[in-house]
Amino acid sequence: MNEQQLTMLVERTGDTLAPDVRRLVAGGVARGRARRRRRAVGSALGGLAVVGAVALAGALLPSDGPDSGPDAAGPVPPSRHVAVFPPDTSAVLASLLPGARVVEDDDASYQFQVQRGDVRWHGASVSLTIDSRGVGSSSTARDRCRAFIGDACTETPGGAWAAEHGTMEVDSRTGEETTSYDAVRVYDPDGYVIEASGESGSRVDRGLLRRIALDDVWFD
């Protein structure tokens, strides 16, 4: 076969290999439509996912409306406030015990929202503390008192609950337990805790401590 014959054979073979344009176009259109449908479905699912996420976040986030739950109002403000400036607590305590002497205790530990007064009266130590850390609590005075000492709590005319208790120590000579301090703790309806304490065996009895803790001088 010479060069001319080879050229003619290649040309005839090329004519038989001409592409079916219609079929190629139809196939491309079909594939394009299928691809667009997949993108449309994916976009729709993505949109639903976004909407669902926004709805879930809205349900979880706190609302400022009236139905945002029982704690939306926050702590209840007290009906009265402590009337004694903390550094004056000892002086006011001394005014309730004629002849008492203010004791300056430089080593006394400091507690936030707790003020304390200390005096000496007839040779005995007497103290008073006002704890304001529970102000605004939703717990009642009765419940807080009973959590401290159980059924030994008694209600006072003003709605507070009081508990008498003592601090025990062991006598090194006899080995017996004796009460070293008597105390009366008062749980106020506003959340305050007032406690008066004094050395046992002195003129300071629990009746006096109760009157000190419930005195109106501490609040306005």
Same structural domain, 18 and 96: no
CATH number at residue 193: 3.40.1000
| Of 83, 48, 106, 17, the residue nearest 217 (C-alpha) | 83
Do strands 177-187 and 114-121 pair parallel, antiparallel, or not at all (unpaired)? unpaired
- What are the tokens at 25? 């176009």
Same structural domain, 99 and 145: yes
Residue whose structure tokens are 């005995």: 124
Instruction: Give the domain-ending residue among 12, 42, 59.
Output: 59
Same structural domain, 105 and 44: no
203 lies in some domain:
yes
Same structural domain, 94 and 43: no
Same structural domain, 90 and 19: no
Do strands 161-170 and 154-155 pair parallel, antiparallel, or not at all (unpaired)? antiparallel
Is this structure's pTM higher than 0.75?
Answer: no
Distance CA 101, CA 93 (A): 10
How many folded domains does the chain comprise? 2
68 lies in some domain:
no
Q: In this structure, are residues 196 and 206 in contact, taking their beta carbons and an 8 Å threshold?
A: no
C-alpha distances in Å from residue 15, one per residue of 5, 44, 96, 140, 153: 16, 48, 123, 101, 111
Question: Helix (H, G, I), strand (E, B), or coil: what is residue 34?
Answer: helix
Distance CA 197, CA 59 (A): 52
Domain around 36: 3-59
Q: Cα dihedral angle (12, 13, 14, 20), rounded to 10 degrees?
A: 110
Same structural domain, 152 and 190: yes
**CB neighbour list of residue 50: distance below 8 Å, 6 or more residues apart:** none
Q: Give the pLDDT of the chain (220 residues) as one tens digit per residue.
A: 555 665 565 456 545 544 453 453 344 444 544 554 555 545 544 554 444 444 444 444 454 554 444 444 567 789 999 999 999 999 999 999 999 999 987 666 678 999 999 999 999 999 999 999 999 999 999 999 999 999 999 999 999 999 999 887 777 788 777 778 999 999 999 999 999 999 987 899 999 999 999 999 999 9
C-alpha distances in Å from residue 217, one per residue of 23, 99, 117, 149, 206: 102, 18, 14, 26, 19
